[in-house]
Structure 1
Amino acid sequence: MNDRKLRVVDGDVVYDLGRTPETVPQRARRLMQEAQVLACEEVEMLRRTLADSVRQAEAIRDGGEIFPIGVREQARQLADSLPTIIQTLQALSERRLREVTHEPVPPVWRGSE
């Protein structure tokens, strides 16, 4: 007897007709995991935006007298404090991603971006 299971392909989605349907708790767990992974992706987008802000703040800080002294000082403070905030966001997000997916995530301290 042939043990192959039928599959329906619709665009990029493959439906395994031999698979038993999810129970409500299984579906809820799967959807919660997907939502938590998406949340980690949002944090990563925020981290990248903040990294761009650090570069811009450093440019203003180093811009010399074309920028007012108060603006340069605020830019200096941002350039000094944002990297720590970025690392903290990344560490928290990666820890959560490891908890959710049960897969190894690369270490947080891998250099600057």
Structure 2
Amino acid sequence: MLAYIAAGLTTLGTVIAGAVAGPVAAGAALGSAIPVIGVFICALCFGKSGTGARVTAIVFASIMILFGLGALGRGMPAGIVQLGLGIAIVAALSQRQSGDWFRRPQR
């Protein structure tokens, strides 16, 4: 669920940046959201995939954390959203219950 929220906020932020500041700002917003796109694609595969999608999503969420810290370092307050969602996704996917769910028998 967090991956879908992150993708929605990224889409909204990119559209707003494009409308307010132009295509260069929209491209910058989309470029800084590459890890969010990766987490979203992994989330689309969660229903049918095994632990590979989980591990890949954890890696992309860790990169989200780094991008969020970079945005905060550049003085962009929107980086706190990416940082917070990245931490929440890593924490949720690292729990034992999450691992058990991904190791369930496939149907």
**TM value normalised by structure 2:** 0.41
Larger radius of gyration: 1
Larger strand proportion of the pair: 1
**TM value normalised by structure 1:** 0.40
